[in-house]
Chains A and B, each alone.
Chain A
Amino acid sequence: MAVQIGIVSGKGGTGKTTLTASFAAAADDVVLVDCDVDAPDLHILLHPVVKSESEFSGSKVASIDVDKCTRCGLCETHCRFGAVDVPEIDALSCEGCGVCAHVCPVDAIDLSPRLSGYIFESATRYGPMAHARLLPGEGNSGRLVTEVRKLGERIANATGSDTILIDGSPGIGCPVIATVTGLQLAVVVTEPTMSGLHDLDRILSLLERFRVPATVVINKYDLNVDNTRKIEDMCQGRSVEVLGRLPFDTVTTDSMVAALPLPEYAPSHSMTERIVEMWDRVIGMAH
């Protein structure tokens, strides 16, 4: 079984995808998985070539046959999601629970699978990649994340790769829980801001709860050195290793504009050196 390493953050925009792509470029043999299914960005840096695509249906959706409907309103009364306005159902609000169909006295309501997104198996310069796209406004992002991770595991089994590198989404809700469950190591990317500190505390609590070992990268650490120290103190108090600090440097944005992982864009830059060192340590911790 391949070792699974996930990059998460709590707060958005701290540098998860930049770090994932950089690790991918520093790694020898990894399977890449983008679990940020409702705002995926890893493909922008890794340029995957899609080999196969499948539809994802994570739930059902109700619809009313207006010819059979007697407008009795029972479905509307019992729907707890405010999705029914007889004889219409708002698909975005419908959670596909089936209560409306159950209470309908004339069997006018049907549940059918809803298309919630697409899953892709692709090839990149740095290894095979599993990724997905949730359709705008859909729920079930946690289920889609689980499916993308399963695809990543199948690819790793087939290729014999011993490491799966996962890019996560911000937050601590269902997609993040689905991303971190069962990881061998979570790399948490944070920044030395008040919100970064606050959100780091919450994601570390989540990881502790799901018994996932964590290590922390402080990005743009020189933006506020006092807060960087506070983050290091917090990590020490929680017995979490700080993997390293990265300075604020315009080379990061420049590499993103060039749509390349940092080690490829600036191979001899000091930032690249630091990231390669971090990756070696990550591999050591996870295996």
Chain B
Amino acid sequence: MAGCASLLVTVASGKGGTGKTTVAVNLAVALGDVTLLDCDVEEPNAHTLLHPPTFESTPVTVPTPVVDQDSCSHCGACADFCQFNAIFVGKTKTIVYEELCHSCGGCAMVCPTHAISERPRRVGWVHTANIDGIRLVYGELKIGEPVATSVIRAVKAEAGSGDVVVDAPPGTACPVIESIRGSDFVVLVSEPTPFGVHDLSMTVEVISTLGIPYGVIVNRAGIGDDRLHQFCRENDIPVLMEIPFERRIAELYSAGIPFVRGDAEWRRRFREMFEQIREMV
């Protein structure tokens, strides 16, 4: 891609609570004119730092099978086909377990009496807001719904054309892959503790399979030990930034305030890091 093309940077971590949202929001505030996508749809938090006064909400739906009991011959073909045990065929009734359904459409396809149709089922929402030049888009998984990926996809569809910062969920499983996919660069936020290093090494494995360039931000620098720096050195991973452990930063976060507000020096550092990433990509 050309040097000045727009950039999609995802902030991820492996371990939870290392500072993904802190980095994503402060980076967005420092950049100003940017889209911020909060893909941690199970526990979205970017809005708890940005406090949008108003937002627009759109429901996210997935196609879910509905069985017409009158046309159903209880042959069991749908249940045999379903790999997710989401359909139970009884002697008089066929039941769909909606939370187990992956919306593949296979049951409707194999039904010999065309008794299965699909209807949209709401699994969450996408909220959109504009705050100080930032376009914030965040997903919210409906409580009790197990599968987050459809809501994550709906959030990512709002990326638009300019620079984008994505706040990813913790872990290394499918929701993380869904969030990272299509990124130009991944910023991994870790902390210098054994948990931080261990979970970072697992996330590095995931990103390597996707072939996306990445670097590390050391958050809460000064606590713990130096194994995180050692890990980065040994694996040739660039350390993009160090955010020191300061009670002031932790207190501002707890009160819901991005720490770069009122701190021109930190805003400059975040902007410079973003330009450095643009050059690396």
Stretch at the interface among B1-9, B68-76, B101-109, B229-237: B101-109
**Given A194-B254, A205-B143, A209-B143: A80 touches B105 (CB 8 Å cut-off):** yes
**Given A136-B209, A173-B148, A202-B43: A224 touches B172 (CB 8 Å cut-off):** no
User: From residue A229, how far is it (CB to closest CB) to chain B in Å?
Assistant: 13
User: From residue B5, how far is it (CB to closest CB) to chain A in Å?
Assistant: 24
Nearest B residue to A37, CB-CB: B173
Are A257 and B225 within 8 A (Cβ)? yes
User: From residue B151, how far is it (CB to closest CB) to chain A in Å?
Assistant: 10
CA distance A136 to B210 in the complex (A): 11
**Given A80-B103, A134-B172, A137-B176: A39 touches B81 (CB 8 Å cut-off):** no
Is B250 at the interface (CB under 8 A from chain A)?
yes
**Given A137-B173, A193-B254, A224-B251: A99 touches B43 (CB 8 Å cut-off):** no
Nearest B residue to A206, CB-CB: B143
Is B169 at the interface (CB under 8 A from chain A)?
yes
**Given A223-B250, A223-B251: A137 touches B206 (CB 8 Å cut-off):** yes
Is A98 at the interface (CB under 8 A from chain B)?
yes
Stretch at the interface among A147-155, A164-172, A264-272: A164-172
Are B193 and A39 within 8 A (Cβ)? no
Option from B148, B171, B203, B250 in Cβ contact (under 8 Å) with A169: B171
Is B32 at the interface (CB under 8 A from chain A)?
no
**Given A11-B45, A97-B104: A253 touches B193 (CB 8 Å cut-off):** yes
Are A206 and B144 within 8 A (Cβ)? yes
Is B174 at the interface (CB under 8 A from chain A)?
yes
User: From residue B60, how far is it (CB to closest CB) to chain A in Å?
Assistant: 14
8 Å CB interface, B21-53 against A: 21, 40, 42-43, 45, 48-49
Residues of A within 8 A of B103 (CB): 80
Is B166 at the interface (CB under 8 A from chain A)?
no
Nearest B residue to A199, CB-CB: B43
Residues of A within 8 A of B255 (CB): 194, 224, 227
Is B58 at the interface (CB under 8 A from chain A)?
no
8 Å CB interface, A181-211 against B: 191-199, 202, 205-206, 209-210
Residues of A within 8 A of B14 (CB): 39
**Given A95-B102, A256-B195: A12 touches B146 (CB 8 Å cut-off):** no
**Given A173-B146, A174-B147, A194-B256: A99 touches B172 (CB 8 Å cut-off):** no
Are B194 and A257 within 8 A (Cβ)? yes
CA distance A36 to B104 in the complex (A): 27
CA distance A209 to B145 in the complex (A): 11
User: From residue B263, how far is it (CB to closest CB) to chain A in Å?
Assistant: 19
**Given A209-B144, A257-B194: A12 touches B16 (CB 8 Å cut-off):** yes
Option from A137, A191, A197 in Cβ contact (under 8 Å) with B174: A137
Option from B42, B173, B193 in Cβ contact (under 8 Å) with A257: B193
Chain A contributes a number of interface residues (CB within 8 A of B) equal to 63
Stretch at the interface among A23-31, A138-146, A233-241: A138-146
CA distance A202 to B148 in the complex (A): 15
Is B128 at the interface (CB under 8 A from chain A)?
no
Nearest B residue to A172, CB-CB: B42
Is A59 at the interface (CB under 8 A from chain B)?
yes
CA distance A44 to B195 in the complex (A): 7
Nearest B residue to A223, CB-CB: B254
Residues of A within 8 A of B256 (CB): 193-194
Is B216 at the interface (CB under 8 A from chain A)?
no
Are A195 and B45 within 8 A (Cβ)? yes
CA distance A97 to B63 in the complex (A): 15
Is B67 at the interface (CB under 8 A from chain A)?
no
Is A52 at the interface (CB under 8 A from chain B)?
no
Option from B43, B48, B174 in Cβ contact (under 8 Å) with A171: B43
Is A125 at the interface (CB under 8 A from chain B)?
no
**Given A39-B171, A173-B147, A223-B254: A136 touches B104 (CB 8 Å cut-off):** no
Are A39 and B102 within 8 A (Cβ)? no
User: From residue B124, how far is it (CB to closest CB) to chain A in Å?
Assistant: 11
Are A11 and B254 within 8 A (Cβ)? no
User: From residue B82, how far is it (CB to closest CB) to chain A in Å?
Assistant: 8
29 contacts between A and B (CB under 8 A): A11-B45, A13-B16, A38-B172, A38-B176, A38-B202, A39-B202, A80-B103, A97-B104, A99-B105, A102-B109, A111-B83, A136-B203, A137-B174, A138-B173, A170-B170, A171-B40, A172-B42, A173-B148, A177-B144, A193-B254, A194-B45, A194-B256, A198-B48, A199-B45, A224-B254, A224-B255, A257-B193, A257-B225, A259-B194
Instruction: Knowing that A39-B202, A97-B102, A99-B106 touch, tell me 19 more A-B residue pairs with CB under 8 angstroms.
Output: A17-B195, A38-B202, A39-B14, A41-B198, A44-B194, A44-B195, A98-B81, A138-B173, A141-B171, A171-B40, A177-B144, A177-B146, A191-B254, A193-B256, A194-B255, A195-B253, A224-B251, A256-B195, A257-B193
Chain B interfacial positions (CB closer than 8 Å to A): 14-18, 21, 40, 42-43, 45, 48-49, 81, 83-84, 102-106, 109-110, 141, 143-148, 169-177, 193-195, 198-199, 202-203, 205-206, 209-210, 223-225, 247, 250-251, 253-256
* Pairs of residues from A and B, 7 with the lowest C-beta to C-beta distance, nearest first: A12-B16, A13-B17, A97-B104, A174-B146, A194-B256, A171-B42, A195-B45
